[in-house]
């Protein structure tokens, strides 16, 4: 009997029954796994490409648009007799990455050789940092939010075990009958960020990578274009058993999108549970991501690979100079847009991150929030209306014009303070977006006599005229609290006022006058 089955037999009777019942189902979810008492345990390795013009150990250019194998030095392709020359800019960027992750940066670090053979690693080894990384023992605070529940979120601190500087491999392109090698990427500088295995869900993993990416982009440590391979994620997934025993870990390699981080980790959690609950052992292996987001086996790791790690003989121990640290600290920017939205404007984290990810939207929002008196909550309410106006007008959203942003912000400020109605405000947006109106909001409202009517006498006078013109509708509306005829009268009053009476005021005025005329 396998060790996995022994552990299952030790589960409480209810849990064991629950596991067996779930195993009979065709579809399982992560929620089912957690209900059974198993706890996901996830650690990440993030490979961030550093934006240097040349490679880590050679002067070959970094150019993703170059023809295959045209941006390759003799060192990159493993030519005998060539030696590595360390790129100082990459060292400074790696130090910066360590500092923004609250890491210790030791006074010295060392490069090591990690030996393995792949066709896209012609030297037969990778130069990395195994025992003495450039930064270690850090942490990263981030927000975790539920993708389906807008107001459900919490903060989490994740341990950063190490930041190591290493060279990338080349790229292998597989065809039906052959495999092609492109070494343009071989030797490109990477900062590998290794986290502690304390993430407990795919959502936590996605939120961490998402906010780490924003931090790195803001500090120009990495361009963060996942679809271009600037940021790649490896996920280590296991299940902790109900009795507290750690499960076998599998590694999911080269995840290059947030959608696949979510789906691959969830798929792997469920797969582990199915294997364990069937009485089998989870195999320690490396897995890839299929087109549908599930994971597929690439190679097993049951036999521990001996990478024959050794200090890199052609590079001395790297001493980190104090002036490098000081320069890196001075260049840090901790005014991260999404954190500013959350902390200064009390914005929901999911919304703040959504805005921060879109550079055009972020610039537009920042411009609007500079308007005195405008709150973030009110701005968020109106962004949806602005998007509709842009779409209906065939214009891009958000508008790129600073003038439109200023006029939009001023108009919704007027609406928030009750100076104009929502309907008038929407008409103003149409004028600014689709008709290229440039006049200031106050002058436009004044010229059109569009100030909101709040006087009950003025509203009553307009409504009496509406009643006279719609006598049949008035008769039908009397005595029917939810009558559609009341809505017709309300809309007629709004139209009569040129949209200067709000919907609520119009409804209240109609109801009051109907009662008054009945009493008479």
> Structural domain boundaries of the chain?
3-319, 358-447, 456-519
Which pLDDT tens digit goes with each residue over 457-491? Answer: 999 999 999 998 988 888 888 866 667 888 899 99
> Computed from CA positions of residues 278, 281, 283, 284, in that sequence, does the dihedral angle turn out positive or negative?
positive
pLDDT at 48: 98
pLDDT at 1: 41
pLDDT at 25: 45
- Which of 292, 273, 278 is CA-nearest to residue 32? 273
DSSP string, 62-115: --TTSPTT-S--TTTTT-TT------HHHHHHHHHHHHHTT-B--SEE--EEEE
- Location of structure tokens 């089955």: 5
pTM of the complete model: 0.86
CB neighbour list of residue 85: distance below 8 Å, 6 or more residues apart? 57, 58, 59
The closest of 315, 329, 441 to 100, measured between CA atoms, is: 329
What pLDDT, on a 0 to 100 scale, did the predictor assign at position 482?
A: 67
DSSP 161-230: EEEEEEE---EEEE-SS-EEEE-TTTT-EEEEEEE-S-B-SHHHHHHHHHHHHHHHHHTTS----GGGTS
Q: What is the pLDDT at residue 366?
A: 95
Which pLDDT does position 512 carry in this prediction?
Answer: 86
Adjacent-strand bridge partners of 128: 112
pLDDT attached to residue 30: 85
Express as a percent the part of the chain with pLDDT over 70.
91
Q: What is the pLDDT of residues 6-58, one digit of tens each?
A: 444 444 444 444 445 544 445 788 888 888 899 999 999 999 999 999 999 99
Ranges of residues in the chain with a pLDDT under 50 are 1-19, 22-25, 520
């Amino acid at each position: 009997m396998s060790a996995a089955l022994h552990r299952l037999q030790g589960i409480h009777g209810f849990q064991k029954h629950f596991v067996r019942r779930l195993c009979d189902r065709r579809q399982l979810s992560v929620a089912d796994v957690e209900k059974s008492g198993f706890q996901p345990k996830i650690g990440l390795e993030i490979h961030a490409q550093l934006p240097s013009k040349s490679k880590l150990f050679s002067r070959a250019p970094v150019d993703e648009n170059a023809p295959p194998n045209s941006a390759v030095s003799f060192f990159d392709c493993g030519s005998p007799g060539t030696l590595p020359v360390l790129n100082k800019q990459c060292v400074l960027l790696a130090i910066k990455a360590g500092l923004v992750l609250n890491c210790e940066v030791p006074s010295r670090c060392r490069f090591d050789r990690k030996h393995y053979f792949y066709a896209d690693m012609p030297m037969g080894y990778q130069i990395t940092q195994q025992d003495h990384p450039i930064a270690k023992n850090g942490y990263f605070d981030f927000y975790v939010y539920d993708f389906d529940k807008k107001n459900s979120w919490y903060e989490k601190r994740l341990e950063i075990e190490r930041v190591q500087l290493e060279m990338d491999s080349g790229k292998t392109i597989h065809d039906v009958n052959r495999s092609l090698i492109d070494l343009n990427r071989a030797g490109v500088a990477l900062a590998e960020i290794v986290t502690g295995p304390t993430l407990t869900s795919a959502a936590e993993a996605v939120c961490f990578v998402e906010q780490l990416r924003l931090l790195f982009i803001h500090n120009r440590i990495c361009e963060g274009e996942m679809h271009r391979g600037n940021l790649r994620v490896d996920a280590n997934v296991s299940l902790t058993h109900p009795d507290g025993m750690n499960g076998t870990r599998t590694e999911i390699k080269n995840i290059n999108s947030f959608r696949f981080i979510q789906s691959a980790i969830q798929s792997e959690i469920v797969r582990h549970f199915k294997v364990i609950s069937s009485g089998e052992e989870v195999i320690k292996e490396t897995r890839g991501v299929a087109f549908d987001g599930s994971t597929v086996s690439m190679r097993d790791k049951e036999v521990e690979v001996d990478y024959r790690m050794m200090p890199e003989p052609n590079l001395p121990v790297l001493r980190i100079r104090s002036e490098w640290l000081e320069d890196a600290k001075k260049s840090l920017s901790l005014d991260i847009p999404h954190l500013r939205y959350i902390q200064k404007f009390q914005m929901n984290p999911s919304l703040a991150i959504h805005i921060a990810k879109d550079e055009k939207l972020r610039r537009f929002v920042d411009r609007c929030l500079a308007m005195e008196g405008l709150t973030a909550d009110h701005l968020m309410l109106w962004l949806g209306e602005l998007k509709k106006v842009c779409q209906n007008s065939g214009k891009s959203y958000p508008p790129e014009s600073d003038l439109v942003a200023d006029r939009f912000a001023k108009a919704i400020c007027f609406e928030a303070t009750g100076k104009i109605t929502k309907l008038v405000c929407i008409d103003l947006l149409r004028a600014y977006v689709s008709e290229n109106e440039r006049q200031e909001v106050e002058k436009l409202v004044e010229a059109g006599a569009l100030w909101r009517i709040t006087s009950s006498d003025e509203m009553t006078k307009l409504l009496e005229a509406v009643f006279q013109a719609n006598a049949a509708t008035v008769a039908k509306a009397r005595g029917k609290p939810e009558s559609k005829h009341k809505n017709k009268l309300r809309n007629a009053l709004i139209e009569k006022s040129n949209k200067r009476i709000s919907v609520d005021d119009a409804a209240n005025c109609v109801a009051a006058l109907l009662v008054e005329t009945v009493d008479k």
